[in-house]
Structure 1
Amino acid sequence: MTVLTSRCFFRVASIAVLLASVSACANNQSGRSLEQMLGADPRLENSPAIAFGSGDNNSNQAAPNTNIQLPADFPPEIPRYPNAQLQEVTQSTTRWTTSDPMNAVQSFYQNEFQANNWDVRQPTQEGILEAQQNGLRVTLTIPATTNQSSTAQPNVAGTEFTLQYTRDTTTTANLSTSAETDNVPQPGDADFIGPVLSQPTDQTAQTVDNTAQQTNNAQTFNDTNQAPQELRQYLQDLTALGVLPLQSTSKSSSSTTQFEPSKTVTRREYARWLVTANNQFYANSPAQQIREASSSAQPAFQDVPSSDADFPIIQGLAEAGLIPSPLSGSSTTVLFRPDAPLTREQMILWKVPLDTRSSLPNASVDAVQQTWGFQDAAKIEPRALQAVLADFQNSDRSNIRRVFGYTTLFQPKKTVTRAEAAAALWYIGSASEGVSAQDALRLQQSGTSQATESEN
């Protein structure tokens, strides 16, 4: 205790001597220097307090520049990424930053473009996405060095991207000229509800009007972005072709723009889409089409009477031998169960005969295991086993690969979503010869153009 008391007395005495020295030297240069060293920093009086030990120094972070505004010609159709900060504006180009990762930005724009019917080109290289709509072309570029630090906040990880936009002035001029001449709403205007009746001023304007008319007449859904990315293009093509349901999928409304891609598809719905897709794909080949049954035909199924709205289609599939029924020798299949969910093995069993246009091959569990490698091949119903084996021979054109990708489990009793059912119908035929929805669309558009030319 005596040692501690002596030490304390020595420290107090030292401080007193030091203060006395400062006071005594206040009028000379050494005293003023010492006073400045021990005094408080006057710069801290108007500065916010710094939390020592936090590891952050907010004074080193650059605040976002709120004075930069979008140019007057920035197209309102271009989607705006949430929480992105505008950093720079040059001619037809804007530069942005966000704290989100690169893949989130690219996925956002790809989904937005597709949901709003932009023509999206497949990326030619990583970090670049191009989309076009009504003469407006947008290029999203995310530099490869992004995601390291944000330009706005150097110490915060983030993503920098640019949006470059250009307009096709020829298309815009043609539409403007037509509007001035005809004095009627044009395709793309809010008041446009149908084809323009007046004669176009030139061939270019006529082409624009025809294309816009087809786009307005085509059915569109506003929830296709809810489908898996790999299946969205299939939905868009089949929708444009008119294969997917024109009637409402909701009991509360007579019409809808909801496709509900994740909803389970029923056997009735799939039968309807199957016939519609085949007959649309082979619109110019009556011999390849499925004929609907007459209402006077004897029903093949006890639960699908002739009074059923889908009787002509379901009965037609049974009479064509494309689905199991007493007519095809399956005497125990007396019920169709139209409102039951469609399973994977049923989808393949109904679809593959349209691809091969021939009888199904003999199949065994071992054969399917050796070809597909399915661990659950033994769970597949024997008749469906034949269709699964035949589907393997279509290589990359097979329904299973197109819908489910690579898998070692077929899960034959698992139900099928509406998006998966549509993907299976996107292509009909073998690996060497067949028709896709895109082929059918081109044929349809070609026929429309020829009819228009003959009328003129």
Structure 2
Amino acid sequence: MQNNSNIFGANQSPQATPQPQPTVQLPADFPAEIPIYPNAQLQSVTPGAEGQFVGLWQSIDPSNFITSFYRSQFGANNWQIVQQPNDDTGTFEARRNNLLVRVTIQPKSVTSATPNQSQTLTELRIDYSPNGTAFASPIPSTDTTATPNPTTTPNTEVASNTNQPGSPDFIGPVLPNSNAAPAPTTTPTTAPATTTQTAQQFSDINKAPQQLQRYIQDLATLGVLTTSTNQVKENTNTNLFEPSKAITRREYARWLIAANNAMYASNPAKQIRTVSETAQPAFTDVPKTNPDFAYIQGLAEAGIIPSTLSGDSTEVLFRPDAPLTREQLLLWKLPLDTRSALPTANLEAVKQTWGFQDAGKIDSRALRAVLADYQNGEQSNIRRVFGFTTLFQPKRTVTRAEAAAALWYFGTQGDGISAADVLKGKT
């Protein structure tokens, strides 16, 4: 119309077709054990000095969400935390075997397309050293401005700083991998979110009882839950949680440690330690070569599960692939709620408190856990998992959804912490 005002729509200047932005991908040898925040967009990848890697992510989530995610992930997955932020922004440095990782979390102000409006992004600078070589220098403070539509090419402000990705002096933490689905993006031109193996997004949570769905979702966000053992063996769809499927004893042992350590990521005194392969196996059917040996042996050495180490001479077999029962769920969980010796209990005391019609079927060792759970009031595991019931059915198998509900909260009534608290940044 500028060229010829007499003809509407004719001789117009052709409109440029937007070109798609190139997709940035992690290198093929990126360590799977490094957690990556699921709702973050990978912006750039740059090799660093001496085999070190530098990556830049951005997320629309506030920095306290991301900081809480890394506290829980490093705490729950056997990382040695060398450095962590004092508040909602700053730098994590963690070591696992020979892998050294640093994650820097900084908010960034971004100008919106709407005049006089802005939004906040959070920037993740990630660096890892595969051979454990120390980083050259501390992470520099990030710039507080950004272009309206971040692309996969680093902006000029980053490139002009000698301590930014690509420089030998740059130090940026590395994030873990998860099975999360592509995260929401700030603009339609950004690359798909990188998936990880820590925070999960399951496609069948809606098949769980409605009252239990929030518990599953919160723990999945924390990266506590895993797909079933059969799915892993058969290489089937790992986006399925299978909430109605019975959980095995090995899976519950793994979840129990992961959930406890995620809740108390900032309190090492309340964390359960996994063990090395040098430990003498407590169970004859869980040798050092068993993939869950570190978790099962760790629970046995902490006295959480009955074993010969705790004086139970008959407990020589763990039966890792056997389904977990309701009474076993409580017997293993309650010591981590009360943090003290379980009370003395007898059949009559359980009948008077819970009023279970089948109290006589409960194993004598589990009676103490059942009675202690009653004293937790509205925060009792039985009430949260099974709702109101006059039948405990102690030998009935536990579903994966029910196990998640039990692990959503640790502590007693008025003195505990939930997965929702951790996700909100509370400790």
TM-score (norm 2): 0.56
On the 8 A contact 1:290/1:320 being kept in 2, the answer is yes
Larger Rg: 1
Aligned mates of 1:344, 1:248 — CA distance in 2: 20
The structure-2 alpha-carbon separation of the partners of 1:281 and 1:217, relative to structure 1 and needing over 3 Å to count, comes to: closer
Cα distance, 1:401 vs structure 2: 0.2
**Is 1:409 equivalent to 2:391 in the alignment?**
yes
1:118-137 matched pairs, under 5 angstroms: none
On the 8 A contact 1:266/1:340 being kept in 2, the answer is yes
The structure-2 alpha-carbon separation of the partners of 1:297 and 1:248, relative to structure 1 and needing over 3 Å to count, comes to: closer
On the 8 A contact 2:198/2:223 being kept in 1, the answer is no
Aligned mates of 2:228, 2:399 — CA distance in 1: 18
What is the aligned-residue RMSD (CA, Å)? Answer: 3.2
Cα distance, 1:249 vs structure 2: 5.1
Aligned partner of 2:223 among 242, 250, 263: 242
Aligned to 1:192: 191
Cα distance, 1:253 vs structure 2: 2.4
1:85-100 matched pairs, under 5 angstroms: none
**Is 1:432 equivalent to 2:400 in the alignment?**
no
**Is 1:379 equivalent to 2:378 in the alignment?**
no
The structure-2 alpha-carbon separation of the partners of 1:286 and 1:426, relative to structure 1 and needing over 3 Å to count, comes to: same
The structure-2 alpha-carbon separation of the partners of 1:189 and 1:372, relative to structure 1 and needing over 3 Å to count, comes to: farther
Aligned partner of 2:329 among 341, 347, 351: 347
The structure-2 alpha-carbon separation of the partners of 1:359 and 1:242, relative to structure 1 and needing over 3 Å to count, comes to: same
Unaligned runs of 5+ in 2: 1-38, 40-59, 62-111, 121-144, 153-183
On the 8 A contact 1:247/1:255 being kept in 2, the answer is no
Q: Which has the higher helix share?
A: 1
Q: Return the letter of the residue paired with 2:246.
A: T
Q: Return the letter of the residue paired with 1:411.
A: Q
Runs of 4+ that moved beyond 2 A:
168-175, 177-195, 246-249, 251-255
Aligned mates of 2:228, 2:381 — CA distance in 1: 26
Cα deviation per residue 1:178-233 (whole Å; 9 max; x = unaligned)? 785434594464863348xxxxxxxxxxxxxxxxx99x983200100000000000
The structure-2 alpha-carbon separation of the partners of 1:248 and 1:341, relative to structure 1 and needing over 3 Å to count, comes to: closer
Q: Return the letter of the residue paired with 1:311.
A: F
1:29-428 matched pairs, under 5 angstroms: 181-184=149-152, 186-187=185-186, 189=188, 192-194=191-193, 218-245=199-226, 250=231, 251-253=233-235, 256-428=238-410
Task: For CA contacts below 8 A with separation 6 or more, give which structure has more relative contact order.
Answer: 2
**Identical pairs, percent:** 59
The structure-2 alpha-carbon separation of the partners of 1:217 and 1:293, relative to structure 1 and needing over 3 Å to count, comes to: closer
SS of alignment partner, residue 350 of structure 1: helix
Cα distance, 1:432 vs structure 2: 2.1
Cα distance, 1:256 vs structure 2: 1.4
Q: Which has the higher strand share?
A: 2
- Residue correspondences, number: 263
Cα deviation per residue 1:331-365 (whole Å; 9 max; x = unaligned)? 00100000000000000000000000011111111
Aligned mates of 1:181, 1:372 — CA distance in 2: 59
Unaligned runs of 5+ in 1: 1-116, 118-133, 136-167, 196-212, 447-456
Q: Return the letter of the residue paired with 1:182.
A: P
On the 8 A contact 1:219/1:246 being kept in 2, the answer is no
On the 8 A contact 1:293/1:313 being kept in 2, the answer is yes
Aligned mates of 1:169, 1:408 — CA distance in 2: 59
Aligned to 1:152: none
The structure-2 alpha-carbon separation of the partners of 1:360 and 1:253, relative to structure 1 and needing over 3 Å to count, comes to: same
Cα deviation per residue 1:239-274 (whole Å; 9 max; x = unaligned)? 001111168751332661100000000000000000
Aligned mates of 2:423, 2:200 — CA distance in 1: 13
On the 8 A contact 1:344/1:411 being kept in 2, the answer is yes
On the 8 A contact 2:199/2:224 being kept in 1, the answer is no
Aligned mates of 1:217, 1:384 — CA distance in 2: 33
Aligned mates of 2:189, 2:150 — CA distance in 1: 16
Cα deviation per residue 1:362-417 (whole Å; 9 max; x = unaligned)? 11111000000000000000000110000000000000000000000000000000
The structure-2 alpha-carbon separation of the partners of 1:293 and 1:217, relative to structure 1 and needing over 3 Å to count, comes to: closer
Aligned to 1:159: none
Cα distance, 1:283 vs structure 2: 0.3
Aligned to 2:77: none
On the 8 A contact 1:323/1:349 being kept in 2, the answer is yes
